[in-house]
Amino acid sequence: MLEVSDLRKKLDIIRQQAFINIEKINDLYELQVTKTQYLGKNSAINDILKSVTQLPHQYRIEIGQLTNKLKKEISDKITIKFNELEKKLIDEKLKDSEIDLTLPGLDFSIGHRNPLLKTVDDIANIFKNLGYQIVSGNEVENEEYNFNRLNLPANHPARAMQDTFYLDNNSKEVNRWLLRTHATNITARILSKQNKNKQKVEAVISLGNVYRKDNDDATHSHQFMQVDGFVVAPNITFANLKWTLNHFCQQMFGLETKTRLRPSYFPFTEPSVEVDVNCPMCKLQGCSLCKHTGWIEVLGAGMIHPNVFTAAGLDEATAGFAFGVGIERIAMIKYGIDDIRLFYNNDLRFLKQF
Ligand code: DAH
């Protein structure tokens, strides 16, 4: 017959031994072994718990409770020891490692789009929303599509060697190859695919690089970007062009933007206009951006010249309008940038501002 007082004593002894043993432990493996020894299936504590059923009824509860309490005390002690040993291990690892926690963290700065490409996307989206088709087109072009078919005759000053990059300066060919001087070449190419007898309604913009023999300075670059667009449709009028230009400028520079059309000259349009917007910097008050006029020129446009239609093999009475925009110029006005070269230099101090 089990003696209850023996059991009480046994529990006390286990407690004392366990506490002393746990206190002495110095590594996690040993702690795990000790845990199994005191709390595992074959532990003395478990044996006592199993034997509780053999006790006289009045002692079962007392011994049961005492045993469970001891289990909890030992388990708590082991947890405390575990945390202590683990912290020690981490501290030691950190002490030995090369990591210097006092160093400042790495800079995870995220890149973003160049303001010029952002402007390209913005322009494309404005016209996409109006149902225009977006194309990029060829940058290497010949005189036929860059000049002849756009009503720029052979003696036109824009064709001169000081303006145009010819691929071969010594070529004696009639139709020499060149780097396109404007994106209007795409208009000539697309119109020439139209069918004279079955006119198709077409609204297209092309975006891309163009090249001119300019000396680079704050406002000129030998390579820059243009959007060139046109619409051909029966009965299209100058009023449609005016609405389109107004819409474009307001979407680009804000809904309060005012536009002003001035008569101008382009060989491929008649009548031709240049379009100004009220200066977004000074709102018509006059500042250095608008050269104190309150207005800034943003694009050229007009009704497509009958000679352009006939050169494309179409009826000269075909109706259509066209426009051309310098993209850098738009970005410079929109973001208040005063030097075109900043777009191409990849200077992070500049790029990070957008
Ligand atoms: N191609 C002209 C230039 O480079 C811009 C331009 C003006 C394009 C009027 C057009 C237009 O399509 O209708 O300066």
Q: Does 108 fall in a domain?
A: no
Which CATH number goes with the domain that contains 161?
Answer: 3.30.930.10
pLDDT at 37 over 80: yes
**Position 105 confidence tier, pLDDT thresholds 50, 70, 90:** confident
Q: Check residues 293 and 96 and name the one with the higher pLDDT.
A: 293
Q: Does 129 fall in a domain?
A: yes
| Per-residue pLDDT tens over the stretch 59-76 | 999 999 999 999 999 999
- Per-residue HEC secondary structure of 163-227 comes to CCCECCCCCCCCCCEEECCCCCHHHHHHHCCCCCCCCCCEEEEEEEEEECCCCCCCCCCCEEEEE
Give the end of a domain, one of 96, 125, 153: 96
What's the average model confidence in pLDDT over 156-174? 86
Q: What is the pLDDT of residue 154?
A: 85
pLDDT at 1 over 60: no
Task: Please state the atom number of ligand 1 nearest to the C-alpha of residue 187.
Answer: 12
pLDDT at 252 over 60: yes
| Per-residue pLDDT tens over the stretch 18-34 | 999 999 999 999 999 99
132 and 256 belong to one structural domain: yes
Average pLDDT, the chain: 92
Residues in contact with ligand 1 (CB, 6 Å cut-off): 182, 184, 228, 266, 269, 300-302, 322-324
Q: Does 103 fall in a domain?
A: no
Task: Please state the atom number of ligand 1 nearest to the C-alpha of residue 210.
Answer: 4
Q: Does 106 fall in a domain?
A: no
Q: Check residues 91 and 268 and name the one with the higher pLDDT.
A: 268
- What percent of the chain has a predicted confidence (pLDDT) above 90? 72
25 and 170 belong to one structural domain: no
Instruction: Say how many Å lie between the CA of residue 96 and the centre of ligand 1.
Output: 69
Q: What is the pLDDT of residue 166?
A: 94
Q: Does 314 fall in a domain?
A: yes
230 and 343 belong to one structural domain: yes
138 and 214 belong to one structural domain: yes
- What percent of the chain has a predicted confidence (pLDDT) above 70? 99
Which residue, by CA, sits nearest to atom 12 of ligand 1?
323
Q: Which two tokens stand for residue 198?
A: 């079955």
What's the average model confidence in pLDDT over 337-351? 91
Give the end of a domain, one of 96, 130, 159: 96
Instruction: Say how many Å lie between the CA of residue 273 and the centre of ligand 1.
Output: 10
Q: What is the pLDDT of residue 2?
A: 60
324 and 195 belong to one structural domain: yes
**Position 172 confidence tier, pLDDT thresholds 50, 70, 90:** confident
Burial class (CB within 10 angstroms; exposed 0-12, middle 13-18, buried 19+) of 261: middle
The set of residues, in sequence order, having a beta carbon less than 8 Å from that of 261 and lying 6+ positions away, is 242, 245, 273, 274, 275, 276
161 and 304 belong to one structural domain: yes
> Could you tell me which of 234, 3, 245 has the C-alpha nearest to residue 123?
245
135 and 217 belong to one structural domain: yes
221 and 298 belong to one structural domain: yes
Instruction: Say how many Å lie between the CA of residue 182 and the centre of ligand 1.
Output: 7
CA distance linking residue 282 with residue 296, whole number of Å: 11
**Position 112 confidence tier, pLDDT thresholds 50, 70, 90:** confident
What's the average model confidence in pLDDT over 245-251? 98
The set of residues, in sequence order, having a beta carbon less than 8 Å from that of 122 and lying 6+ positions away, is 252
Best residue among 228, 231, 245, 273 to mutate for probing ligand 1's pocket (most ligand atoms within 8 Å of CB) is 228
What's the average model confidence in pLDDT over 187-213? 95
Best residue among 152, 159, 182 to mutate for probing ligand 1's pocket (most ligand atoms within 8 Å of CB) is 182
Give the end of a domain, one of 65, 96, 127: 96
84 and 179 belong to one structural domain: no
What are phi and psi for residue 179, nearest 5 degrees? -90, 125
Domain residues for the domain of 82 are 4-96
Q: Number of structural domains, the chain?
A: 2
Instruction: Say how many Å lie between the CA of residue 322 and the centre of ligand 1.
Output: 8
Task: Please state the atom number of ligand 1 nearest to the C-alpha of residue 183.
Answer: 1
Instruction: Say how many Å lie between the CA of residue 250 and the centre of ligand 1.
Output: 20
Q: Does 32 fall in a domain?
A: yes
91 and 46 belong to one structural domain: yes
**Position 153 confidence tier, pLDDT thresholds 50, 70, 90:** confident
pLDDT at 158 over 80: no
Which residue, by CA, sits nearest to atom 2 of ligand 1?
324
What's the average model confidence in pLDDT over 189-208? 94
CA distance linking residue 98 with residue 95, whole number of Å: 8
Q: Check residues 1 and 283 and name the one with the higher pLDDT.
A: 283
| Per-residue pLDDT tens over the stretch 309-337 | 999 999 999 999 999 999 999 999 999 89
Instruction: Say how many Å lie between the CA of residue 249 and the centre of ligand 1.
Output: 16
Best residue among 184, 221, 248 to mutate for probing ligand 1's pocket (most ligand atoms within 8 Å of CB) is 184
122 and 43 belong to one structural domain: no
What's the average model confidence in pLDDT over 187-210? 94
Q: Does 109 fall in a domain?
A: no
Which residue, by CA, sits nearest to atom 6 of ligand 1?
324
Q: Does 49 fall in a domain?
A: yes
Q: What is the pLDDT of residue 215?
A: 92
> Could you tell me which of 306, 276, 332, 317 has the C-alpha nearest to residue 343?
332
Instruction: Say how many Å lie between the CA of residue 321 and the centre of ligand 1.
Output: 11
193 and 324 belong to one structural domain: yes
What's the average model confidence in pLDDT over 150-164? 85
Best residue among 210, 266, 297, 309 to mutate for probing ligand 1's pocket (most ligand atoms within 8 Å of CB) is 266
